[in-house]
Chains A and B, each alone.
Chain A
């Protein structure tokens, strides 16, 4: 999985509790992304980062926040988890070549269940 780890791999939590998911990379890639995967929706971008302390919202960012204090770590926080946030969460990394798009490499995922 291209030097990407996610922790925890599985988590069950209760509605209203805060949850933080961690993505760690050893590739020194500049760009990092958080996606959620739900049946019938494919992968949808939650937030992304284009450098240390540089982050922006994706298409489904409500209820989520992120932080990136080091190149290798990208944290996703659910401030107050809801059942609609039950999903599989994937972290991805990439670089750009010039102004062109390039491959994203995905981590193994975190399965989150909110009861």
Chain B
């Protein structure tokens, strides 16, 4: 059973537009929700992360919105750029051994 469900599988956005990727989870024991960005041939790299005691976190053009009651969180990329074209993964973890459960990934293509 997949612990974290991610959508959409792929996303095409025009340059300057807003990219939105959504994730949902079931286990209320999760206490850390990171988003990773991965370029072809590279390992995933942390983009931004949030803990469940806040509803929103913003870093530059990237924002996480977190809805604890709905058990959902989303990544918003404002003013999307062609350089943002990559695969994005959401994840969730809890404190026991810091095991991560990843979503299935979203391939973002930002068209110039």
Residues of A that sit less than 8 Å from B by CB: 1, 4, 31, 33, 35, 40-45, 48, 50, 56, 58, 90, 92, 94, 96, 99-109
Contacts and interface: CB of A to CB of B under 8 A. Distances in A.
B32 A102 contact: yes
Contact of B44 (A56, A96, A101, A106): A106
B60 interface: no
Contacts of A92: 100
A26 B89 CA distance: 26
A91 B72 CA distance: 27
A90 B9 CA distance: 21
B97 A31 contact: yes
B32 A100 contact: yes
B49 A103 contact: yes
A69 to B, nearest CB: 19
Contacts of B32: 100-102
A90 B103 contact: no
Interface of B: 6, 9, 31-32, 34, 36, 41-46, 49, 51, 89, 93-95, 97-105
Contacts of B43: 1, 4, 90, 106-109
Nearest to B34: A103
Contacts of B45: 106
Tell me whether chain A's interface is mostly helix, strand or loop, or mixed. strand
Contact of B99 (A1, A58, A105): A58
Given A42-B89, A90-B44, A106-B44, A101 B102 contact: no
Contact of B98 (A1, A42, A102, A107): A102
Contact of A41 (B51, B94, B104): B104
Contact of A101 (B6, B41, B94, B105): B94
A102 B33 CA distance: 9
Nearest to A109: B43
